[in-house]
Amino acid sequence: MIKSISESFPKPTADEKFMQMAIEQAKIAEDNGDVPIGAIIIHNNQIIAKAYNQREQLQDPTAHAEIVALTQAAAALESWRLNDCTIYVTLEPCTMCAGALVLARIARLVYGCDDAKTGAIKSLYNIVSDSRLNHQVEITSGVLKEECGSQLQQFFSRRRKENKKVL
C-alpha cells in the first residue's frame, strides 16, 4: 500500500503549533535587538497573550516574554489567577519568571530548550514543582527544542561577531 504525502509527514501537535507561534514572537524580540525569547498563553484553546522579550526596547529588567505575557493574560481574563492556562515559552524560564508562573497559578508550562545558565525549571532549580510552595505547575519540556535552541545560538553567534568588529 502506498502512503499519501500527508500520511508520510505527521501533523504537528497542538504543543508544536503553539510553540511555533512562540518562536515567531521570539523573532520579533530579535528584530528589536533583544534576546529572542517568545511566549504564548492559551486559555480554553484560545490565544489570550502573545509576548516577546522587551528588556532592551523598554530598558526594563523585568520585561521578559513570560512576564509580559502573564500581564496580558491577566488583563484578558480580568483575573491574576491563570489556573486554567498553559504558557508556551521558547526557553526554560529563569527564577523570576518561574516564580511568577507559580504566583499566577499557571496550570501548565511548555518550553523549548533548557537554559543551563539561568533555568529555574530543571537546569538549576525546580521552582514550579517545589511542593513547599502553594502551587505546582505541570511541565512539558523539549517541544521544538532544536528550533528554539538554534534561534538562540544563531543570535548569540551574531552578537559575538558584531562585538569583535566594534573592538
- Of the residues 66, 78, 138, 147, only one is catalytic, namely 66
CA dihedral sign, ordered 47, 50, 19, 120: negative
Angle at the Cα of 40 from the Cα atoms of 39 and 41, rounded to 5 degrees: 125
Nearest to 89 by CA among 144, 22, 143, 141: 22
What residues contact 148, with CB distance under 8 A and at least 6 apart? 19, 23, 26, 90, 91, 111, 112, 113
Cα 55 to Cα 33: distance, rounded to the nearest angstrom:
9
> Grid coordinates in use for 25?
514572537
Q: Is position 66 annotated as part of the catalytic site?
A: yes
Inter-residue contact 122 to 114 (CB < 8 Å): yes
What residues contact 132, with CB distance under 8 A and at least 6 apart? none
Active-site residue set: 66
